[in-house]
């Protein structure tokens, strides 16, 4: 029989054990933070000038129309006082929360946010505060559009950061879990925090996926193939055929080098690489090197010459074909367009057709990245790469995460650090955390010459002794854009497609976003897509008149590609006598263990 004394002794022992773990973790925490090599401070927030301008605009509005400003202030004060009185009355009448007509919000899904007077008061006051800040930003009418957009973005970041769910004392889910586990969840959360800091050299980047759940070439990136060429910029992987015959014209995919290529080859059922081989194509994929500080002076021209042009040369030599088809994804597509312009200047007809996945070539609209593409941030990046030689991967990861901060920062941090939960075994999020650095020179070229000055779409960008222009691209092209893409907005991708010199253009708009809209296998029957052959229309009208098709765009693109891929020939095994296999896919640049 268990006595109260036994239970008390057990609780005391658990408490002592947890205290000992906290002491050990605290020491590890201090060591991890001491290892931190922070980025340039200007990359952690906007230049103070944006807030000075916002304040000036607010006071300008105050002087011009004081009644309107006071009206908003009095509305906020009135709502706050009324809310406080309602909460007081509810408590006096029996500890019940007042009526709550606030909109549904996944952050506040716990029933206590509606039924418990304390949590309900905190939530409703937070939402009132957020509304007041948003109105104040809207009132700043004297700001130019870019400054207004920046102010909206950074004020939203502050609002999201101050959500009561982000603090233990005002998060009922975390408090309930702590009580249920007798504090064990908080210790596990501290363990998760320390592990994340240790893994990222003192930077707080919350892990989104369990790093032990996946191993390249075992349960992701498993499509068979061989590295058949390697230089200091890339490895060229040729995938094994999945059919007895293949189209004569080979296909090369140039992924972005901001992340690793195996997003195209996650689990077998989601693998675009596997699907392409099953359609009877000889497939080559470029795997870019993850640069260190020795790559500081590598620029876009090096990616073109030692990446794109080298791959074209080696694929033609291996297959014996004089023409190839190519695909570029994201920045890999942007640079592909510049490479195609260069080939045109040189009279090289090696490329038969080009496909662009979520690609920007006209940067006249900067979309959600506008806050990060102004001089204060890019000046900070220039200072960062001048010191480090590279733009370190965690800076890129942090920037992209803040565009979806609730989904990619705060909710994962709450689950990991406050609830003590292990990150999920999710292949896409595992890949997302496997980031890469960018060469310093290339990063500045991309930000200054393309994003800020839009040289490729305007007067032309000077690379490799040529002035390269978007309208130089005159071969058959197919663009795949994604309807809710927040990285490469589809309307901007469409505008770039319109500006190309090609008379044979196809534009396909997939449902979903930057990744899910591309990695959309037909077997899932999940996201549909739109088509419209009239690309003379403005983007909105193109969409309104487009035909919607259920299911993935992959089969439609496969037919488009097959028409441009020639006759069928016997399937080709990876490599040839002058290109012996160097190591199995996914290669040593993406997985150093594969070269052991």
Residues forming the active site: 330
Q: Name the strands in the sheet holding 283-288, side by side, starting at the edge strand that comes first in the sequence.
A: 547-549, 529-531, 505-510, 477-482, 351-357, 324-329, 251-254, 283-288, 234-239, 225-230, 583-584
Angstrom distance (rounded) from CA 50 to CA 452: 18
Beta strands in 233-361 (DSSP E): 234-239, 245-247, 251-254, 283-288, 324-329, 351-357
**Rounded to the nearest 10 degrees, how much is the dihedral formed by the CA atoms of 214, 278, 275, 523?**
-100
Tally of CA atoms within 13 A in the half-sphere of 2 that contains its CB: 5
Q: Tell me which residue of 197, 183, 166 sits closest to 412, measured CA to CA.
A: 166
Backbone phi and psi for residue 571, each to the nearest 5 degrees, phi listed first? -60, 145
Q: Tell me which residue of 593, 263, 214, 311 sits closest to 584, measured CA to CA.
A: 593
Q: Are 365 and 487 in contact (CB under 8 A)?
A: no
Q: Which two tokens stand for residue 492?
A: 């901007």
Backbone phi and psi for residue 443, each to the nearest 5 degrees, phi listed first? -60, -45
Q: Which two tokens stand for residue 30?
A: 């201090």
CA distances to 105, 409, 585 from 261, in Å: 35, 24, 11
Query: Parallel, antiparallel, or unpaired for β 324-329 and 351-357?
Result: parallel
């Amino acid at each position: 029989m268990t006595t109260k004394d036994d239970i008390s002794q057990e609780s005391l022992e658990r408490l002592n054990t947890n205290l000992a773990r906290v002491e050990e973790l605290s020491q590890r925490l201090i060591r991890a933070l001491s290892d931190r090599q922070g980025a340039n401070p200007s990359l952690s927030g906007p230049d103070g000038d944006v807030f000075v301008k916002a304040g000036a605009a607010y006071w300008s509005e105050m002087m011009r129309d004081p009644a309107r400003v006071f009206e908003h202030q009095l509305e906020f004060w009135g709502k706050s006082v009324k809310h406080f009185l309602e909460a007081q009355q509810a408590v006096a009448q029996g500890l019940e929360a007042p009526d709550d007509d606030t909109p549904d919000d996944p952050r506040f899904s716990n029933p206590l946010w509606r039924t418990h007077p304390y949590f309900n008061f905190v939530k409703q006051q937070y939402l009132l505060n957020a509304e007041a800040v948003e109105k104040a930003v809207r009132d700043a009418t004297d700001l130019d559009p870019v400054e207004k957009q920046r102010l909206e973005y950074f004020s939203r970041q502050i609002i999201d950061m101050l959500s009561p769910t982000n603090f233990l004392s005002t998060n009922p889910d975390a408090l309930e879990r702590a009580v249920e586990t007798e504090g064990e969840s908080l210790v596990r959360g501290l363990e998760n925090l320390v592990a994340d800091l240790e893994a990222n050299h003192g930077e707080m980047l919350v892990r989104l996926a369990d790093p032990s759940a996946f191993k390249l070439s075992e349960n992701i990136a498993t499509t068979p193939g061989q590295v058949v060429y390697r230089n200091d910029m890339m490895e060229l992987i040729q995938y094994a055929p999945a059919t007895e015959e293949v189209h004569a014209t080979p296909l090369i995919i140039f992924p972005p080098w901001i992340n690793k290529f195996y997003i195209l080859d996650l689990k077998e059922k989601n693998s675009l690489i596997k699907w392409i081989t099953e359609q009877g194509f000889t497939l080559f994929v470029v795997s870019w090197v993850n640069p260190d500080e020795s790559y500081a002076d590598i620029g876009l021209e090096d990616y073109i010459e030692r990446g794109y042009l080298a791959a074209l040369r080696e694929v033609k030599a291996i297959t014996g074909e004089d023409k190839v088809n190519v695909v570029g994804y994201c920045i890999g597509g942007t640079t592909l367009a510049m490479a195609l312009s260069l080939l045109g200047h040189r009279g090289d007809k090696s490329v038969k057709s080009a496909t662009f996945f979520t690609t920007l070539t006209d940067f006249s609209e900067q979309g959600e990245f506008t806050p990060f593409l102004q001089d204060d941030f890019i000046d900070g990046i220039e200072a960062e790469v001048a010191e480090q030689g590279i733009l370190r991967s965690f800076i890129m990861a942090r920037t992209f995460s803040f565009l979806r901060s609730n989904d990619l920062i705060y909710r994962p941090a709450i689950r990991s650090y406050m609830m003590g939960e292990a990150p999920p075994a999710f292949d896409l999020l595992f890949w997302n955390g496997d980031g890469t650095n960018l060469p310093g020179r290339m990063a500045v070229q991309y930000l200054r010459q393309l994003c800020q000055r839009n040289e490729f779409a305007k007067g032309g960008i000077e690379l490799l002794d040529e002035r390269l222009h978007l309208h130089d691209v005159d071969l058959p092209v197919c663009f795949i854009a994604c309807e809710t893409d927040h990285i490469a907005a589809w309307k901007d991708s469409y505008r770039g497609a319109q500006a190309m010199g090609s008379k044979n253009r196809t534009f396909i708009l997939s449902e979903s976003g930057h990744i899910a809209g591309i990695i959309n296998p037909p077997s899932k029957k999940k996201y549909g897509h739109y088509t419209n052959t009239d690309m003379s229309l403005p983007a909105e009208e193109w969409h309104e008149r487009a035909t919607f098709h259920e299911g993935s765009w992959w089969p439609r693109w496969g037919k488009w590609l097959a028409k441009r891929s020639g006759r069928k020939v016997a399937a080709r095994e990876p490599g040839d006598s002058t290109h012996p296999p160097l190591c199995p896919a996914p290669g040593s640049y993406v997985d150093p263990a594969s070269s052991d």
